[in-house]
């Protein structure tokens, strides 16, 4: 469970830093 929380926090903090790459990934996946 702790690993999930850590991953969630890491993704949340990394989302702002790599927002564009994520948007591109989502657009490509969509």
Of residues 5 and 26, the one with the higher pLDDT is 5
pLDDT digits (tens, 9 = 90+) for 3-22: 888 888 877 776 666 555 66
% residues pLDDT > 70 (the chain): 40
The pLDDT value recorded for residue 10 is 78
pTM over 0.75: no
Count up the domains in the chain and report the number.
1
Task: Provide the residue range defining the domain that includes 30.
Answer: 1-30
Measuring CA to CA, how many Å separate 13 from each of 2, 6, 28, 30?
16, 11, 22, 23
Please say if the pLDDT value at position 2 is more than 60: yes
14 backbone φψ class: left, alpha, beta (φ>0; ψ -120 to 50): alpha
């Amino acid at each position: 469970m702790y690993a999930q929380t850590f991953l969630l926090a890491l993704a949340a903090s990394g989302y702002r830093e790599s927002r564009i790459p994520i948007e591109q990934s989502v657009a490509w996946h969509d």
